[in-house]
Amino acid sequence: MSVPAAYLGIILIWSTTPLAIQWSAQGAGFSFAVMARMVIGLAFCLALLRVTRTVMPWHAAARRLYAASGMALCASMLFTYWGALYVPSGLISVIFGLMPLAAGVFSALWLAERTLTPLRLAGLALALAGLWLIFGQPWPGAERATLGAAAVVAGLLLQALGLVWTKRLGVGVSSLALTTGSLAVAVPGFALAWLLFDGARLPAELSARTGAAIVYLGVLGSVVGFTLYYFVIKHLDTGRVALIALLTPVSALLLGQTLNHERIPAMGWAGIALIGAGLVLYEWRALRPLRRPIIS
C-alpha cells in the first residue's frame, strides 16, 4: 500500500465516521448501534488474525493493556453515540479534532511530559474559547444539544485518557492485536449497556441506511481506519499526521451540510474557527516542515 493512498483513506473514513455514527444511532438506538458496530469489528479482527497468522499476546502486561484500552473505548463510544443523537455530525468531528490537545494535557499531567509550550498553551486557550462559544449556542432542531455536545466532549476526553493510559503501560504489541484485545474487552460492556438502556431489544425496524452505517463503522471505522493510521504514522512526519486532525473536521462539516441538511448558527461557526486556529497553534512546530513532498 502507498502512503498517499493510506493518507487519503484515513481522511475519507474519519470524515464520514461522525455522519455514519449519527445515522446508525438515530435509526437503531444508540446502545444497539454501538454494540453491533463493535461486534462486527471484533469478528473482522479475529478473521484478520487468522488470515495473517498474527500472534495475539496474552501475558499479564498485554492483558492489562487490552483492559485499559477496552474500558476507555467502551466509555468513550457510549458517550459519543448518545451525544450524536442531539448534535450535528460535523460538530462531532470538530470536537474529536481536539484529540491532540486533550492527549497533550493528559500526557503533561500523567506522564510528566514537557509538551505544553507557551505556543501550545495559547492554542489550547483558543480551542477552549471555541468550545465555550459552541456550548452557548441554541443548536437548531435539538432541545438537548448542550447535553449532547457535553457527552461528545466527555467521549473525547475518555478516549484521550485511554491513549495516554496505554502509552503509560508501554507494552509493545501489534496494532491488530491491540485493536482485537480492546474490542474483546469492550464488547461485553456494550452488551451490558444495550441491556440497561434498551432491555436488549432488537430495533423494530432497521433501514438499509442504518444497517449499512453499522457495517461501515464496524469494518472501516473500527478496524481499517486505525490500521491505516498506524501505517501512516510509521512513514510520515508528525506534521503531516497532525494535518489529518485539521482536514477531517472541515470535510465532515461539508458532508453534514450536504447529506444531512445540518445547520450551524453563526456563533457556532465562530467557535469552530477558534478551535481550528487553536489546533494550528498547538501543532505549529509540527506543521512547519510541510513543504516536503509526501513519501510514496
Least Cα distance to 81 among 159, 136, 152 occurs for: 152
> Residues in the chain with pLDDT < 70?
1, 137-143, 237-239, 288-296
CA atoms of 110 and 157, how far apart (whole Å): 14
* Tens-place pLDDT, residues 19-70: 999 999 988 899 999 999 999 999 999 999 999 998 899 999 999 999 999 9
Rounded to whole angstroms, what are the CA distances from 294 to 4, 76, 248, 280? 7, 32, 18, 20
Rounded Cα distance, 92 and 83, in Å: 9
CA–CA separation, 289 and 240 (whole Å)? 9
- State pLDDT tens for residues 250-272: 899 889 989 988 887 788 888 88
At residue 111, the pLDDT reads 78
Q: Which of 16, 33, 37 is nearest to 24 (CA)?
A: 33
**pLDDT value for 296:** 44
- Give backbone dihedrals phi and psi of 222, rounded to 5 degrees, phi first: -95, -25
pTM of the predicted model as reported, rounded to 2 decimal places: 0.88
Describe the crossing of helices 225-235 and 238-260 by its angle, rounded to 10 degrees: 150
Question: Could you give the angle at which helices 175-198 and 225-235 cross, rounded to 10 degrees?
Answer: 150
Residue 171: Cβ-neighbour burial (10 angstroms; 0-12, 13-18, 19+): middle
Nearest partner of 28 among 201, 203, 215, judged by Cα: 203
Helix (H, G, I), strand (E, B) or coil at 132: helix
Cα–Cα dist 281/123, whole Å: 5
The span from the CA of 137 to the CA of 48, in Å, is 44
Predicted local confidence at residue 137, as pLDDT: 65
pLDDT of residue 37: 95
